[in-house]
């Protein structure tokens, strides 16, 4: 019993960090692809490099500030309630990332595209967390 608890104490944060890394990878790769399409299709930046850097700075601030707390809450609830469902972790990851664009309503480029990128990255992170730690909650 003691060793099982110690194993969970080690496994849960490790799984959370791995899931967060996958979320960040998907967010930045898919986000960069959508951002590049937006710039080339609509001429959003209009040749002004400072607007591009301002948008990137704002996106990184939003990602760092508002996404970690809902994800931690979903992970803690899943562990305490011993939820083993794949859907709980995938939907929980997607929801925790999807609320972020709602907090950034002033961002240009279409809120639907931003929401899509954040939700997909959250779904991926939730899936990875479930694969590492959620199945044995």
Higher-confidence position of 51 and 131 = 131
Find the mean pLDDT for residues 78-96: 88
Across 10-27, average pLDDT: 90
- Give CA angle at 72 (69, 7), nearest 5°: 155
pLDDT digits (tens, 9 = 90+) for 105-126: 555 555 666 777 888 888 999 9
- In eight-state DSSP terms, residue 136 is G
Q: Which H or E element spans position 107?
A: none
Of the two residues 59 and 4, the one the predictor is more confident about is 4
Residues in the chain: 137
Per-residue confidence (pLDDT) for residue 33, from 0 to 100: 77
Enter the tokens of residue 104: 């950034």
CB 74 within 8 A of CB 104: no
Q: What pLDDT band is residue 132 in, cutting at 50, 70 and 90?
A: very high
Helices (H) and strands (E) in the chain, counts: 5, 0
Whether pTM exceeds 0.75: no
13 CB-near residues (< 8 Å, 6+ apart): none
């Amino acid at each position: 019993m003691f060793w099982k608890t110690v194993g969970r104490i080690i496994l849960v944060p490790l799984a959370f960090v791995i899931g967060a890394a996958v979320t960040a990878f998907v967010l930045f790769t898919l986000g960069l692809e959508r951002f590049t399409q937006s710039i080339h299709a609509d001429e959003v930046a209009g040749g002004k490099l400072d607007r591009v850097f301002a948008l990137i700075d704002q996106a990184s601030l939003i990602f760092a500030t508002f996404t970690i707390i809902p994800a931690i809450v979903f992970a803690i609830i899943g562990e305490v309630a011993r939820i083993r469902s794949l859907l709980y972790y995938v939907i929980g990851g997607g929801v925790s990332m999807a609320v972020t664009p709602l907090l950034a309503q002033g961002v240009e480029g279409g809120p639907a595209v931003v929401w899509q990128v954040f939700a997909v990255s959250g779904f991926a992170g939730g899936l990875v967390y479930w694969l590492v730690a959620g199945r044995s909650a």
